[in-house]
Chain A
Amino acid sequence: MKDSKTTEEMNHSRREFLSKTAVAGTITIAPGVLLHSTAQASGNTSTKASDEEVSNKNRWGMLIDTAKCADGCTGCVDACNEENGLVGHDRPATDTQYIRKVTLKEKSTGHELSLPLMCQHCETAPCADVCPTGASFVRADGIALVDKHICIGCRYCMMACPYKARSFVHENVENQKLTAPRGKGTVEACTMCVTRVDNGGIPACVEACTAEDHNAMIFGDLNNPNSDISVALKEHGGKQLRPDLKLNTGVRYQGL
């Protein structure tokens, strides 16, 4: 009896406190509404609650400035391997690569470019088109994934991908990372660090590139006009790789 009374008292005072702060809140916050809303949805990271489903309100993407991508730097690749627990077997042709560094040379001028290449997270993804089981799919927020629970390892998606972005796991895997389950007999690729993104973070490669002070990669919401990536795209533009395929990729490049 005494206990319930205490709870009632507490509830009462709590309610009082809330109503008071609500009044105070409307007065003080009202002039700063604009500031408040931009801080809430900067578009650079996800603000969804952990129990909320992803939706097509967001379209996560990356912008890579090839002019800033340093020749010989492998920061993004190392960070990716570390984040996803990728291990090699000294077989470069078949070892898993979520992201790789590619050097391009214009033959006529000799001009060289260095850039990271990974899953381009297409809106109309050929991998998802050809998948016979529905294991390859594009999430509502634009991240292309493999559901390894239903992947049968046929590798059609690897054939279909114009970017050669996917790898097949040929060997038994041990000591997987908690956030990166992977196993023999399934296809895998860059997940845009989906667990990080869902928890309001940024992909490991982007984080590493920023930490190296190269700032060649920007992550953000392509659907939010105020996000860093959208602002940069509006100002300087950005190309898709193989735009002729009309895949509407989530990863864009500058300086190609």
Chain B
Amino acid sequence: MTRFLRPILVLIGFMLLSTSTLAETPFPTVQKASDEGAKCIEPTHEMRRNHMNYILHERDETMHEGVRNEPGSLAACIDCHVEPNEQGVVVDHDNKDHFCNGCHQYASVQIDCFQCHADRPQEYIKRSSHTSSIKDQLQQTLAASDASSEGVNQ
């Protein structure tokens, strides 16, 4: 009897263990929209499932046809949903507390948008220190080209 009981007990123990670990996986806390009274363009359940379709469709219309009033633009999502946390910091897109990344990390879906797009509203974009170095370089190049100018090629 114990011969059968032992593996069953082990199995039950393992199952209990695995369920308890599953329960411990933290569900993402999604940041609320900055304007509490504002309504999203679609109900929450619709946006949760299909937000990518809205963004993709309007991406092509904007890029190729110049249509710029789209309510479902990525910029509009970011503008409303990304804002500073309690410490007054706007976290980067690869942080789990970022509005998009919380769920994407939870669902294990890679997000490529922010390789190119701003991950925060314009007013929170950090200033780059490199722009001035470009300017210095340009001044040097211009000074150098003054000394030895190129010939006309027309």
- A binding-site residues for B, Cβ under 8 Å: 48-54, 71-72, 74, 77-78, 81-82, 85-90, 92, 95, 100-107, 112-113, 137, 139-141, 145, 147-149, 172-173, 175-178, 181-184, 186, 194-195, 198-199, 241-242, 256
Considering only CB atoms, which chain B residue lies closest to A242 in the complex?
Answer: B154
Given A74-B135, A103-B142, A105-B152, 5 additional A-B pairs, CB 8 A: A50-B67, A53-B66, A74-B142, A104-B151, A175-B128
- Cross-interface CB contact of A195 among B68, B146, B150, B153, cutoff 8 Å: B68
With A105-B151, A106-B152, A178-B122: A54-B115 Cβ-Cβ less than 8 Å: no
Docked pose: A140 CA to B131 CA in angstroms: 32
The 5 listed contacts between A and B (C-beta, < 8 Å) are A95-B134, A101-B142, A105-B150, A176-B125, A177-B118
* A81 to B133 alpha-carbon distance, docked (Å): 11
Q: Which single residue of chain A is at the shortest CB-CB distance from B79?
A: A178
Q: Does B28 touch A at the CB level, under 8 Å?
A: no
For A114, give the chain B residue with the smallest CB separation.
Answer: B142
Out of B67, B141, B142, B150, name the residue touching A52 (CB < 8 Å): B67
- Indicate which residue in B65, B69, B126, B149 contacts A105 across the interface (CB closer than 8 Å): B149
Instruction: Determine whether the beta carbon of B141 is less than 8 Å from that of A198.
Output: no
- Could you tell me the distance in whole angstroms from the C-beta of B151 to the nearest C-beta in chain A? 5
Contact, CB under 8 Å: A178 / B118: yes
Of residues 51 through 69 on chain B, the ones whose CB sits less than 8 Å from some CB of chain A are: 59-60, 63-69
Verify A87–B63 contact, CB threshold 8 A: no
Interface residues on B, range: 35 or more
Q: Which residues of B contact A78 (CB under 8 A)?
A: 135
| CB pair A183 B67 closer than 8 Å | no
Mark out the residues of chain B between 95 and 154 whose CB falls within 8 Å of any chain A CB in the assembled complex: 115-118, 121-122, 125-128, 130-131, 133-135, 137-139, 141-142, 145-146, 149-154
Per the bound structure, the CA–CA distance linking A142 and B134 in Å amounts to 29
CB distance from A182 to the nearest CB of B (A): 6
Q: Is the CB of B66 within 8 A of A139?
A: yes
Q: Determine whether B75 belongs to the interface, using a CB cutoff of 8 Å to chain A.
A: yes
- Please, which residue of chain B has its CB at the minimum distance from the CB of A53? B65
Q: In the complex, what residues of A have CB within 8 A of residue B152's CB?
A: 104-107, 113
Q: B59, B67, B128 — which one has the most chain A CB atoms within 10 A of its CB?
A: B128
